[in-house]
Amino acid sequence: MISKLLHPATLAAQALGWTDGSTGAVVLPVHTATTFERDPDNQYRRGRGYGRADNPTYDQPQALLTALEGGAASLVFSSGMAAAVAVFQSLGRDAHIVAPQVMYWGLRAWLKNFAELWGIEATFVDTTSLDALRQAVRPGRTRLLWIETPANPLWSVTDIAAAAEIAHAAGALLAVDSTAATPVLSRPLALGADLVMHSATKYLNGHSDVIAGTLTTAREDAFWARLSSARSSGGAILGGFEAYLLLRGMRTLFPRVERACRSAQQIAEALLAHPHLSAVLYPGLTQHPGHAVAARQMIGGYGGMLSIRVRDGAQAAIAAAARVEVWKRATSLGGVESLVEHRASIEGADSPAPPDLLRLSVGIEDPGDLLSDLDSALNSAE
């Protein structure tokens, strides 16, 4: 374990510098045991009894994420959705929550279809508008304000510090889905958030081969204890092999995200004047409505995600996606390979995604190859 104060990139590359005490190995083993031996006097002094409650393979990715987010503790879950849903299910009955109109569609669908069954009333607002947020919270009754920034699929930006102030003034918690920002580009807890959630399936793992989710807390309080117990009793646990792969991905988080950011910025700027596009949505562009807030609260870049709107409409967008050769037509984001997706096709009727929108997840390939592939896919309609 390293004790010096080091840059987060160093902590990530060395996964906190942990080595295996018994062998000196610089990579810790995967723990597959589902059960742990009791001491002869019937105690569990080594702290673990059963695999659903805990797994030693979680320790290192949880500790690393806690360090990267500057939090008090973290939990890994079986998916990003499992992590997010655990938060809502732990609020208790009669909770009022506020959520964004523009957010990961799967969570919006869960809130619309299931929140009521858990006694939760959800209000959806434009969280980029602080006035709308102030009007939506109900002092003494709102338990949680959930934001996502930058948010799928328009990459709208919410002011984290201002949202935290509004939430706290109403007696509510602020939770941030920071999946697209990653701990490299954003530290929501330092800006006043209480909880940070990631779909670790995306940038944290980064190789499109693990489904996982995480929560990080600013404080180890009673709500955190409930979340921890929600994971072990609800059983939304990550497998040991997946936890190992997640940590392996996290060790290269910084170079992957830094390169994806640089390429996304370059691609967004190059596409701005493209004759077949009516808009490029990327917080790194000065034209983006969230640019000023993003410039203030993001660190060193604006992320690897952008969207483009195809001038000739939905069919032209789908046709352009059909012609790419380097980009993969697939959902998800944050992997080393670049992905393109016609977003309205997946999000359904109440999606804020315009029908002509293609979402781009920029990977770590050569940005020139990505740009020319996209350019020829857009141009070959001529």
Ligand X SMILES: Cc1ncc(COP(=O)(O)O)c(C=O)c1O
What is the size of the binding site for ligand X (CB under 6 A)?
Answer: 17
Compute φ and ψ for 298, nearest 5 degrees: -100, 155
Nearer to ligand X by C-beta: 142 or 152? Answer: 152
Helix/strand/coil for 176 = strand
Q: Is 354 near ligand X (CB under 6 A)?
A: no
What is the smallest separation between the CB atom of 107 and ligand X, expressed in angstroms? Answer: 6
Nearer to ligand X by C-beta: 81 or 317? Answer: 81
- Specify the stretch interacting with ligand X by CB under 6 A; choose among 39-47, 101-109, 156-164, 374-382: 101-109
What is the smallest separation between the CB atom of 233 and ligand X, expressed in angstroms? Answer: 20
What is the smallest separation between the CB atom of 347 and ligand X, expressed in angstroms? Answer: 11
Could you list the active site residues?
52, 104, 177, 202
CA–CA dist 330, 220 (Å, integer): 38
What is the smallest separation between the CB atom of 169 and ligand X, expressed in angstroms? Answer: 26
Nearer to ligand X by C-beta: 178 or 263? Answer: 178
What is the smallest separation between the CB atom of 100 and ligand X, expressed in angstroms? Answer: 11
- Specify the stretch interacting with ligand X by CB under 6 A; choose among 55-63, 79-87, 236-244, 287-295: 79-87
Residues 124-163 that bind ligand X (CB under 6 A): 148, 152
Q: Is 80 near ligand X (CB under 6 A)?
A: yes
Nearer to ligand X by C-beta: 214 or 228? Answer: 214
DSSP bridge pairs for 77: 213
Of 57, 74, 149, 201, which lies in the binding site for ligand X, with binding defined by CB under 6 A?
201
CA–CA dist 112, 70 (Å, integer): 32
- DSSP structure string for 28-96: PPPP--SB-PPPTTS--TTS--BTTT--GGGHHHHHHHHHHHT-SEEEEESSHHHHHHHHHHTS-TTEE
Helix/strand/coil for 1 = coil
Nearer to ligand X by C-beta: 125 or 277? Answer: 125
Nearer to ligand X by C-beta: 11 or 250? Answer: 250
What is the smallest separation between the CB atom of 327 and ligand X, expressed in angstroms? Answer: 17
Reading the block at residue 305, the tokens are 């995600």
Q: Are 277 and 308 in contact (CB under 8 A)?
A: yes
Q: Is 267 near ligand X (CB under 6 A)?
A: no
CA–CA dist 129, 163 (Å, integer): 10
What is the smallest separation between the CB atom of 104 and ligand X, expressed in angstroms? Answer: 4
Q: Is 199 near ligand X (CB under 6 A)?
A: yes
Q: Is 106 near ligand X (CB under 6 A)?
A: yes
User: 153-178 in b/e burial notation, b at 16+ Cβ within 10 A?
Assistant: bbbbbbbbbbbbbbbeebebbbbbbb
DSSP label at residue 121: E
CA–CA dist 86, 105 (Å, integer): 17
Radius of gyration of the chain (CA): 21
Residues 174-193 that bind ligand X (CB under 6 A): 177, 179-180
Residues 305-334 that bind ligand X (CB under 6 A): 332-333
Residues 203-222 that bind ligand X (CB under 6 A): 211, 213
Nearer to ligand X by C-beta: 158 or 170? Answer: 158
Taking alpha carbons only, the member of 337, 310, 311 closest to residue 321 is: 310
Q: Are 174 and 164 in contact (CB under 8 A)?
A: yes
DSSP label at residue 152: T
Q: Which residues bind ligand X (CB under 6 A)?
A: 79-81, 104, 106-107, 148, 152, 177, 179-180, 199, 201, 211, 213, 332-333
